[in-house]
Structure 1
Amino acid sequence: MLLSDARSIGRVALPLYLSMVAVSLGALVNTAALGRYGTEALAAFAVTTAVYFPATAAVAGAVRGVMPFVAAKADDPPELLRVVRNGTWLAVFVGVPAALAVAGAGVIARAGGVPAATVAQLGPFPLLMAAAMLVGGFGSTATSCLVGLGRSKVVMRAGLAGAASTAVLSPLLVWKLGLNGAGIALCTANLVSCLITVSGLRGRLPGRLGRTIHFGQIRELAKVGIPMAGTVLVKFAVLGVLTVAAARVSTTAVAAHNIATGLAGLTFTAAVAIGQAVVPLVSTRTEGVRRAVIAGLTITVATLAAICAVIVLGGAERLFTDDPEVRAAVAGLLALLVVVVLADGLQAVLGFGLAGLKRTTPSFVIFSGCYGVLAVIAVPAAQHGLTGLWAALAAANLAVAVGQGLAFRRASNL
């Protein structure tokens, strides 16, 4: 039975992972195109994406609350339509404030002390990113619904199409229009992905969504999704604190820290894909809930260990820098990076297990508590160099994993 669950999870998780990797590679193309266009444009892009990426991740987290409801109603067409419709309204309610925050990136940057010359480069770019944010919110809702229905291949096609759009359009439009070209390329890519996911979802629904709003169910969806969004925001905020702490050590240290963080983030994506694939199994069962999560944890450990082996043995840091000091600093972190990634992957799958049970508030509380402590001790830990900082991060992730495990055990007994 465990093997059967593992196969079911793998069939859903692999297309999701490929989609996420494709989107990440598309983002790198955008950054590379801007880097070649000009340093000022790249700096302005970074200022806006400092708001855009957390906002996008928060909206995606919020609408993931739809997954267990969709999975539970897959065989009840009227209720399935109702859930999808109200999930779409949830995307509106969380997406509009997020888009407004992105549109105000210039104001936020100015208040944060960003040089006026950089802010002046923005122009209408934040508005383009806000539009991309809104479109992406609808696409994330459709993605969550498709994952809940076990239809992740549609998500993969959408991710690949969006990444291809970025890869083709970004170099062309940035060359002609600069920063605004990057915004148009991203909007187009998000629109392409959104149309594919929405079309794929509509083809699996038994009728039209309609316009009726059920605020009671939207509140139920939000109770599951908003804590997930909160967890994402806490993680972004505390990782920002860690970057500041690394910058206090030295220029070499912050460069090495950013490379290690990038490697960890790319690897962690696999755990997110596996965790989402666990949700439909958990939310549709009265028995075998723990078995589904154990299967997810087993796949996660095997997958992350394989990726980490490639990173450690393949000298992945060489792809990011030619500076021997930075390379040496990253190499010195690799053992801790493996612990960080494995612990983060385990806690993510357990967190999605709680999402499948529609109990995400304990997960948010545990994550906030452990990462809150990490934020407090980050600067003192950095006095021992990057090793001290990453040891603190590893300890925080291990604590979150233990807390998530205890919370899931208790919730699955109810």
Structure 2
Amino acid sequence: MLLSDARQIGRVALPLYLSMVAVSLSALVTTAALGRFGTQALAGFAVTTAVYFPAMAAVSGAVRGVMPFVAAKADDPPGLLRVVRDGTWLAVFVGVPAALAVACVPLIARAGGVPAATVAQLGPFPLLMAAGVLFNAFGSTATSSLVGLGRGKVVMRAGLAGAACTALLSPLLVWKLGLTGAGIALCTANLVSCLITVSGLLRRLPGRPELTVHFGQIVELAKVGLPMAGTVLVKFAVLGVLTVAAARVSATAAAAHNIATGLVSLTFTAAVAIGQAVVPLVSTRTEGVRRAVGAGLAITTATLSVICAIIVLGGVHRLFTDDPAVLAAVAHLPALMVLVVLADGVQAVLGFALAGLKRTTPSFVVFALCYGVLAVVAVPSAEYGLTGLWVALAAANLAVAMGQGLAFSKASNL
């Protein structure tokens, strides 16, 4: 039975992971194109994405609360239509404020003391990215619904199509239009992904959802989704504190930290894909929940170990810089990076398991407490250099994993 669960999780997780990797790699194309176009354009991109990426992550996290409800109603056509309807309205209620935040980037930048030349460079770029946030809200709701129904291949096609749009359009449009061209490319990519996932979901529904608003049922979805969004925001905020702490050490430490963080983030997406694939199994069972989560943890540990081995033994960090000092700094971190990734992967799967049980608030509390402590000790830890900072991060992730495990153990006994 454990092997059967593992195969089922793998069938859903693999397409999701391939989609995430494709999107991550395509984003590098935009960064490279802007870097070649001009420093001011790249600076404007960085200022906008400082708001855009957390907004996108928060929206995606909020609508992931739809997954267990969709999975539970897979064999109940009227119930499934109600969940999709309510999930769509949830996308509106979380997507609009997030899009407004991105649209206000010029105001935020001026208030934060960003140089006027950089703010002037923004043009319509924040508005295009705000539209992308709205497209992503609807697309993420459809994605969560498809994952709940075990339809990962549709999500993969959407991700690959969006990544292809970014990779093809960004170099061409940035060369002609600069930062505005990057905005058009990214907005188009979000729109294409949204259309594919929404149309894919509609083809698998037994009818068309109504447009009426039922606030009580939307609140039920939000009770599961919003703590997940809160977890993402806490993580973004504290990792930002760690970046500042690394920058206080030296420019070399900051560069090494960014390279290590980028490698860890790319590896961690595998755990997110596997965790999402666990949700339908957990939310539709009265027995065998722990077995399903055990299978997810086994796959996660094995997958992350293989990816970490490739990164460490293959010297992947050398692709990011040829500075000997930075390379030497990163070379001291592999063991800690592996520990950070494995602990983060375990806690992610357990967090998604709690989402499958519709009990995400304990997960958020655990994460907020552990990462809150990490935020406090980040600067003192950096007194011991980059190693001290990563020891603190590893300890925080281990604490989160233990806390998530205890929360899941209690919730799965209810």
Which of the five TM-score ranges fits, normalised by the shorter chain?
over 0.9
Task: Write the mapping of 1:259-278 to structure 2, written as runs, cut at 5 A.
Answer: 259-278=259-278
Residue number in structure 1 paired with 2:81? 81
Q: What SS does structure 2 have at the residue aligned with 1:246?
A: helix
The letter for the 2-side match of 1:384 is: Y
* Cα deviation code 1:302-358 (max 9, x no counterpart): 000000001110001101000011011011011100000000000000000000000
Q: What stretches of structure 1 move > 3 A for 4+ residues in a row?
A: none
Q: Tell me the residue number matched to 1:245.
A: 245
Q: Which amino acid in structure 1 is aligned with residue 4 of structure 2?
A: S
> Which residue number in structure 2 is paired with residue 37 of structure 1?
37
Deviation by residue 1:141-173 (Cα, 9 ceiling, x = unmatched): 000000000000000000000000111111111
**Residues in 2 aligned to 1:111 and 1:288: alpha-carbon distance in whole angstroms:** 53
CA offset at residue 91 of structure 1? 0.3
Deviations 1:235-287 (A, max 9, x none): 00000000000000000000000000000000000000000000000000000
Q: Distance in 2 between matches of 1:341 and 1:7?
A: 23
User: C-alpha separation between the residues in 1 aligned to 2:156 and 2:180?
Assistant: 27
What's the offset of the Cα at 1:107? 1.1
Q: What count of residue pairs does the alignment treat as equivalent?
A: 414
> What residue is the counterpart of 2:338 in the other structure?
338
Q: Counterparts of 1:251-400 in structure 2 under 5 Å?
A: 251-400=251-400
Give the corresponding residue for 2:56. 56
What is the one-letter code of the residue matched to 1:321? T
Which residue of structure 2 lines up, in the alignment, with residue 144 of structure 1? 144
Opposite residue 81 of structure 1, the aligned amino acid is L
Q: Deviations over 1:163-202 (max 9, x none)?
A: 0011111111111111000000011111111110001000
SS in 2 for 1:275: helix
**How far apart are the structure 1 equivalents of 2:331 and 2:342?**
18
Q: Which residue pairs with 2:95 in the alignment? A: 95
Deviation, 1:408, is 0.0
Partners of 2:152 and 2:213 in 1: CA distance: 27
Structure 2 unaligned spans of 5+: none
1:223-243 residue CA offsets vs partner (Å, 9 max, x unmatched): 000000000000000000000
| Counterpart-to-counterpart distance in 1, 2:402 and 2:97 | 34
Using the alignment, how far apart are the partners of 1:181 and 1:210 within structure 2? 37
What SS does structure 1 have at the residue aligned with 2:412? helix
1:4-61: CA deviation from partner (whole Å, max 9, x where unpaired): 0000000000000000001111111111111111111000000000000000000000
Letter in 1 for 2:334: L
| One-letter code aligned to 1:4 | S
Q: Which residue of 2 aligns with 1:209?
A: 209
SS at match of 1:388: helix
Per the TM alignment, residue 114 of structure 1 is displaced from its structure 2 partner at its CA by 1.3
TM-score (norm 2): 1.00
Distance 1:404 1:207 in 2: 38
Q: Deviations over 1:360-398 (max 9, x none)?
A: 000000000000000000000000000000000000000
Counterpart for residue 24 of structure 2: 24
What SS does structure 2 have at the residue aligned with 1:121? Answer: helix
Identity between Structure 1 and Structure 2 (%): 85
TM-superposed deviation, 1:209: 1.1
CA distance in 2, matches of 1:7, 1:133: 33
Distance in 2 of aligned mates of 1:394 and 1:279: 26
Tell me the distance in 2 between the aligned counterparts of 1:27 and 1:84.
29
Task: Give the Cα–Cα distance (whole angstroms) in 2 for the partners of residues 238 and 263 of structure 1.
Answer: 18
5+ residue gaps, structure 1, are none
Whole-angstrom CA distance in 2 between matches of 1:202 and 1:261: 38
Output aligned runs, 1:82-231, within 5 Å: 82-231=82-231
Measured after TM superposition, the shift of residue 113 of structure 1 is 1.7
Structure 2 counterpart of 1:312, one-letter code: V
The whole-number CA distance in structure 1 between the counterparts of 2:111 and 2:241 is 18
1:110 and 1:274 mapped to 2: Cα distance?
Answer: 41
Answer yes or no: is 1:10 the counterpart of 2:6. Answer: no
